[in-house]
């Protein structure tokens, strides 16, 4: 019983950290959206304009999003093994722990 409780608590921690990872992957696109606010093509600006560097930094920032999503997928698979659910929405209860049930049952 203690093992089941431990795996559910660990699953909850994994689910919330996985959700935070997904939110961070989404927030990485905000600088790119801000950079695109200046226009799609920055050729009309001189090469010394700082907006060129901002665009390059924003593109570099989002370049590893695929790796973040791969880690997110593997963590959801670990949750699937632990409790039988990927727990993509961590605010929902773990499977088998419904209202009125205790974790130790």
**Number of domains, the chain:** 1
What average pLDDT does this structure show over 44-49? 76
DSSP string, the chain: -HHHHHHHHHHHHHHHHHHHHHHHHHHTTHHHHHHHTT-S--TTS-TT-HHHHHHHHHHHHHTTHHHHHHHHHHHHHHHHHHHSS--SSTTSPPTT--TT--TT-
> pLDDT exceeding 90 applies to what percent of the chain?
34
Asked whether residue 75 is assigned to any structural domain, the reply reads yes
Does the reported pTM lie above 0.85? no
Q: Do residues 85 and 79 make contact, with C-beta atoms less than 8 angstroms apart?
A: yes
Q: Which residue has the tokens 């696109």?
A: 29
Query: In this structure, is residue 17 part of a structural domain?
Result: yes
Residue-wise pLDDT for 29-45, tens only, equals 999 888 888 777 767 77
Range of the domain at 13: 2-83
């Amino acid at each position: 019983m203690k093992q089941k409780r431990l795996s559910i608590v660990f699953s909850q921690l994994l689910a919330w950290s996985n959700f935070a990872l997904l939110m961070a992957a989404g927030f990485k696109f905000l600088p790119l959206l801000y950079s695109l606010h200046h226009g799609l093509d920055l050729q009309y600006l001189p090469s010394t304009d700082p907006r060129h560097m901002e665009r390059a930094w924003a593109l570099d920032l989002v370049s590893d999003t695929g790796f973040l999503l791969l880690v997110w997928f593997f963590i959801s698979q670990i949750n699937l093994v632990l409790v039988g659910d990927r727990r993509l929405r961590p605010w929902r209860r773990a499977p088998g722990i419904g209202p009125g049930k205790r974790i130790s049952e």
